[in-house]
């Protein structure tokens, strides 16, 4: 995508600068799954009122991670060079509890968006669900069953991608983590798309390494070396976007 800047006069064109070119990113259908569960910001220790509605209580000071992931979502949309209805489409869903396919109680389905301003307006009105029982596998299954359908903008010829934000996985029990590994392997096998995960933890967190190792297992990556579907920490938008470009380069 290139644009030449200059001036026209009576059949002539005088260029004032060289063409500005931006590489078009890969066309994708993305479902971005935000985390709305208690472990993200330990919301139950800060309020007895759930969900936490937009207002004076829902602030970045009390719930920083809730807002960091929203900044990441807006950042991806701003930095991906083809985010529009004709190229890359992004829908949003809130991971809050588990998924019941018979109801929309735990689904926060957002139809495809056309501008960054609509994304920011949408996210600024989101409630923090603060669910205390949560299963990351179920929300991936929800995205597959509910989001990746033609009625919500899915296109059969465009690669599907799920970006899942995960809170500190060490807050699950060892038994839960083992169960999720088995369930996620089955879920990934049935996906008509590619699962990618970003962690809510910053690299300085003492649990970051353990989280990375567990996420690698969820994604069937080796313990060391390259793991393209692991997008890194949500606190570094530029790095997540860079990793997303690498991870999706070969998708068809």
Q: Contact 108/96 with Cβ under 8 angstroms? A: yes
Q: Full-prediction pTM beyond 0.85?
A: yes
Which domains, from first to last, does the chain contain? 26-248 (3.40.50.410)
Under 8 Å between Cβ of 44 and 132: yes
In 3D space, the residue among 209, 221, 237, 210 whose CA is nearest the CA of residue 77 turns out to be 237
One pLDDT digit (tens) per residue for the chain, 252 residues: 544 444 444 444 455 566 666 678 999 999 899 999 999 999 999 999 888 988 899 999 999 999 999 999 989 988 998 877 778 888 888 888 777 544 444 444 445 555 666 677 767 777 888 988 899 999 899 888 888 888 777 889 999 999 999 999 999 999 999 999 999 999 999 999 999 999 999 999 999 999 999 999 999 999 999 999 999 999 999 999 999 999 999 998
Distance, CA of 41 to CA of 93 (rounded, Å)? 18
Q: Give me 118's structure tokens.
A: 């609509």
């Amino acid at each position: 995508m290139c644009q030449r800047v200059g001036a026209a006069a009576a059949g002539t064109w005088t260029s004032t600068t060289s063409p500005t070119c931006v590489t078009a990113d890969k066309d994708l259908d993305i479902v971005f799954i935000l985390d709305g569960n208690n472990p993200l910001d330990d919301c139950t220790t800060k309020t007895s009122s759930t969900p936490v509605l937009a207002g004076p209580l829902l602030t970045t000071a009390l719930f920083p991670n809730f807002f960091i992931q929203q900044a990441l979502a807006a950042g991806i949309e701003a930095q991906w060079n083809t985010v529009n209805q004709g190229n890359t489409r992004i829908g949003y869903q809130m991971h809050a509890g588990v998924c019941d396919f018979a109801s929309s109680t735990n689904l926060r389905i957002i139809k495809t968006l056309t501008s960054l301003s609509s994304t920011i307006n949408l996210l600024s009105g989101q409630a923090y669900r603060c669910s205390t029982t949560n299963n990351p596998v179920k929300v991936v299954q929800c995205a597959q069953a509910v989001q990746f359908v033609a009625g919500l903008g899915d296109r059969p010829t465009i690669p599907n991608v799920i970006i899942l934000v995960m809170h500190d996985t060490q807050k699950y029990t060892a038994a839960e983590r083992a169960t999720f590994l088995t369930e996620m392997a089955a879920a990934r096998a049935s996906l008509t798309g590619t699962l990618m995960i970003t962690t809510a933890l910053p690299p300085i967190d003492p649990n970051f390494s353990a989280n990375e190792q567990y996420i690698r297992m969820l994604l069937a990556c080796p313990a060391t070396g390259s793991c393209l579907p692991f997008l890194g920490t949500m606190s570094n938008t530029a790095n997540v976007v860079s990793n997303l470009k690498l991870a999706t380069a070969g998708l068809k």
